[in-house]
Amino acid sequence: MEVAVDNGISHTSLKRLLTGILVAVGACAPAPANSPPQDAARNGGLEVSTDRASYRAGEPLALTVHNRGADTVAFNPCTRTLEAERGNAWTAVPEPARICTMEAWLLAPGETRAGPTELPADLVAGRYRAVLGFSAGSGEHAAGKLEARTAPFTVEQ
């Protein structure tokens, strides 16, 4: 069965649009907790940093992403996961009321981009880090899901 639709959208454009949507959905998946920190060489060349080393609960923070890898990546700074240091382990901080828009920020190789997020208002004092999930590549060249962690930062009361 063959269907011809002439609505001004080429097959190639439709394929790119669908690929972009799939990459966006994959980029919004939260990163798993208790994973060891990764350096840029092991996570597709991605580095994530915070704008400060110390915060208060409820404050905004900026996550800056450097793409030193070979693939364009998609991410959403809102969908980051916070991990708290408990003893010698990192544990995900539950944020059941957190709501994010489904959007994908694209970052080509060699590019840097900063995005806003915020800390929960009820966060207790301690050491934390942010984990950001990424989708890399597209179509047949998809590299899959990647993640990168910030250096630890402190939250004070």
Q: What is the per-residue pLDDT across 89-134, written as a single tens digit (0 to 9) for each?
A: 999 999 998 899 999 999 999 999 999 999 999 999 999 999 999 9
Calculate the average pLDDT of the chain: 79
CB 133 within 8 A of CB 145: yes
Token representation of residue 50:
């915070």
The structure's pTM equals 0.71
Place of tokens 């402190």: 154
DSSP state of 12: H
CATH number of 31-156: 2.60.40.2300
Local structure of residue 51 (DSSP, 8 states): S
Distance CA 102, CA 112 (A): 21
